[in-house]
Amino acid sequence: MDPINAKLQEEIKVQEQKSPEMIDQIPVVTQLADIYLDTNGSLKEVHERRYLNCIKRFEQIYEQKPEFFIRAPGRANIIGEHIDYCGYSVLPFALEQDFLIAYAKSPKDELRINNIDMALFPEEILETDPYQKMREETSWINYFLAGYKAVMTSKESEAAIKAGQKPTGMKIFIDSVVPMEAGVSSSAAFVVSSATLALHANNLVDSIDKNKLAKYVIEGEKLVGTATGGMDQTISIMAEMGQAKYIEFNPKIACHSTPIPEGYTFVIANSLTPSSKVATLTTRYNKRVVECRIATILLAMAFDNEHDITSSKSCPYKTLYELQHANGWDNDTVLDHINSKLKKGGYSKSDLEEALNSNSIVGDLNDIEHIYEVWQNNVRFHIFERAYHVLNEVKRVEQFRAICLEQSVSNEEKGEKLGQLMNESHESLKTYYECSSIELDELTQLCRESGAIGSRVTGAGWGGC
Ligand code: GLA
């Protein structure tokens, strides 16, 4: 283990002994002040007004008051971009901006759903059937369905239904203030709040804790088509006020609070160029997932000591993390392998078929959402460049966390180093991952010139914040 990693592991243990973090139940609160406090410890009026407005709108539509509210926040990721689906840890925090769902149970076997923006999102009436089909790809209600189905098709829900409990009908009103297509996870906030709604309305709060919910929702969001890694859903469920969370996905999901040095502020600036993950899946997000998987297979074929891997078909590893840890490699060993084995400048499809010894890459990787379209819609795959970013970003996350936990260094010195890591992350996302944009490069540069100690794209990129 390299020294920085050893130190990090040691610090993590010390922290955990001090405050073991329970992965626990979804909290139910009875006053807004339990959720929205400003730095003086008082409730911001704007939140109260928003809830009152929701009640008013709910009454106008349904002629009764809502019985409960459900909420789930958006997020910003501080560092660790495009590495969660490779199995590696990330460092996000939740935003105050959230998805809000007001609801009341209904005697009818239906889910009547209204949105505060009725023009953009007109009323939908769904069946309560957990196994109903998703709608056509562009429909906004798919995010609701993804969350609903994630919980309602779980084994806990199936057991309740088998024991005679019918899925509850509901009257629903949605109000989100998480900016859409801005890289701050409005989609995860929508899916998580819908899943939590299903959980609460169907009395599953005692049987599905935060950890299980995160697992279900990560799988659920894949129904929308994104081969998502899990960061957004996990932080939306596990976040705590004022805390950044170091999220591990292996061997299981675990969140650790990470103290950001005092005296620094994160400014989340929107480039105002929208970045729709779903509309561009096959050439952007899911393509990156495929490129990272191919990197894993090529490295496994060349260096794995555990199995005899001769083709993409026979590769048991789904992530670079799994391959790395099965072989006990440290980060620099993986980087050496990436440098020595993977070709710079991209592979054509026939190059890949040959390198992976495969007659059907689509068939071999058929667990990745929209793999067929990814294969059809692209001509070159940049395997070295993506893997090179991933491993260096993994190192940056570890360094970032180690600096935050370091006690003998001044806040000023810490700030400088953290800012530098954020700048390096942006450069790598721009150059090797190719997921920045002209506007994001300009905005991050403007931030640096205006006094930011570091600036980078947050979230998937190609626009947004
Ligand atoms: C999106 C995905 C996440 C993560 C980021 C990039 O937000 O939903 O799982 O991959 O992109 O870091």
- Bridge-based pairing state of the strands 91-106 and 169-176: antiparallel
**7 in a domain, yes or no?**
yes
Which pLDDT belongs to residue 18? Answer: 43
Report whether residue 54 contacts ligand 1, using a CB cutoff of 6 Å.
no
Write down the pLDDT at residue 77: 98
Whether 220 lines ligand 1, by a CB cut-off of 6 Å, is no
pLDDT in the model for residue 241 = 87
For helices 383-405 and 320-327, angle between their N-to-C axes, nearest 10 degrees:
70
464 lines ligand 1 (CB under 6 A): no
Given this model, what pLDDT does residue 340 score?
A: 98
User: Under a CB-based contact definition with an 8 Å cutoff, are residues 92 and 75 in contact?
Assistant: yes
Cβ-Cβ contacts under 8 Å for 69 (sequence gap 6 or more): 51, 54, 100, 101, 102, 103
Residue to substitute in 232, 236, 268, 276 for testing ligand 1 pocket (most ligand atoms within 8 angstroms of CB)? 232
**Active-site position among 84, 232, 304, 364:** 232
pLDDT interval class at 320 (50, 70, 90)? very high
Residue ranges making up the domain that contains 310:
272-465
Q: Write down the pLDDT at residue 242.
A: 86
Verify that 220 and 341 share a domain, yes or no.
Answer: no
Query: What pLDDT does 24 receive?
Result: 85
Q: What is the pLDDT of residues 209-222, one digit of tens each?
A: 999 999 999 999 99
Cα–ligand 1 centroid distance for 90 (angstroms): 10
Are residue 233 and residue 102 in the same domain, yes or no?
yes
Same domain (yes/no): 219, 349: no
Residues 60 and 209 in one domain: yes
Question: What is the whole-number distance in angstroms between the Cα of residue 390 and the centre of ligand 1?
Answer: 13
Distance CA 414, CA 84 (A): 25
CB-count exposure of residue 172 (10 Å: 0-12, 13-18, 19+): buried
Nearest CA to ligand 1 atom 10: 82
Position 44 confidence tier, pLDDT thresholds 50, 70, 90: confident
Q: What is the pLDDT of residue 22?
A: 45
| CATH number of the domain bearing residue 254 | 3.30.230.10
Taking the centre of ligand 1 as the mean of its atom positions, its distance from the CA of residue 84, in whole angstroms, is 7
Same domain, 348 and 253: no
Q: Do both 119 and 208 map to the same domain? A: yes
Residue 178 lies in a domain: yes
Residue-wise pLDDT tens digits, 183-229: 999 999 999 999 999 999 999 999 999 999 999 999 999 999 999 99
Site of tokens 């957990």:
130
Residue 34 lies in a domain: yes
| End-to-end C-alpha distance for the chain, whole angstroms | 35
Ligand 1 pocket residue status of 249, Cβ below 6 Å: no
How far does residue 189's CA lie from ligand 1's centre (Å)? 13
| Range in 18-32, 54-68, 411-425 the model is least confident about | 18-32
**Residue 232 designated active-site:** yes
Separation of alpha carbons 282 and 95, rounded Å: 28
Q: Same structural domain for residues 234 and 342?
A: no
Give CA–CA dist 109/210, Å, rounded. 27
Residue nearest to ligand 1 atom 8, measured at CA: 228
Same domain, 281 and 251: no
For residue 158, what pLDDT is reported?
97
Q: How much is the pTM?
A: 0.94
- For atom 1 of ligand 1, the residue with the nearest CA is 460
In this structure, are 321 and 384 located in the same domain? Answer: yes
The beta strand positions in 107-253, using DSSP E, are 110-115, 124-127, 169-176, 244-248
Look at the chain and report how many structural domains it folds into.
2
Distance, CA of 43 to CA of 63 (rounded, Å) = 29
Q: Which pLDDT tens digit goes with each residue over 426-459?
A: 999 999 999 999 999 999 999 999 999 999 999 9
Say yes or no: CB of residue 81 within 6 Å of ligand 1.
yes
Which one of 200, 233, 258 terminates a domain?
258
Please check whether residues 277 and 224 belong to one and the same domain. no
Contact 271, 278 (CB under 8 A): no
409-425 burial string, b = 16+ CB within 10 Å, else e?
A: eeeeebbebbbebbbbb
**CA of residue 220 to ligand 1 center, whole Å:** 15
Spatial contact of 422 and 451, defined as CB atoms under 8 Å apart: no
Residue 94 inside a domain? The answer is yes
Task: For residue 262, give every residue at least 6 positions away whose Cβ sits within 8 Å of its Cβ, in sequence order, or none.
Answer: 411
Query: Which of 227, 258, 289 represents a domain boundary (last residue)?
Result: 258
CA of 188 to the centre of ligand 1 (A): 10
Q: Which of 110-114, 135-139, 399-403, 412-416 has the lowest mean pLDDT?
A: 135-139
pLDDT at 269 over 90: yes
Rounded Cα gap, residues 212 and 15, in angstroms: 24
Give mean pLDDT, residues 322-351. 98
Domain boundary residue, one of 258, 292, 319: 258
Atom 9, ligand 1: residue with shortest CA distance: 229
pLDDT score, position 21: 44
Question: CB of 232 closer than 6 A to ligand 1?
Answer: yes
Cis before 251 (ω within 30): yes
Instruction: Tell whether the model's pLDDT for residue 99 goes beyond 50.
Output: yes
Average pLDDT across the chain, whole number: 94
* pLDDT attached to residue 82: 98
Each residue's pLDDT tens digit, 123-162: 999 999 999 999 988 899 999 999 999 999 999 999 999 9
Dist. CA 462–CA 393, nearest whole Å: 18
Q: What is the mean pLDDT of residues 383-389?
A: 98
Instruction: Tell me what pLDDT residue 263 has.
Output: 92
Q: Which residues contact 10 (CB under 8 A, 6 or more apart)?
A: none
Establish if 84 belongs to a structural domain.
yes
At residue 13 the predicted structure's pLDDT band, cuts being 50, 70 and 90, is low
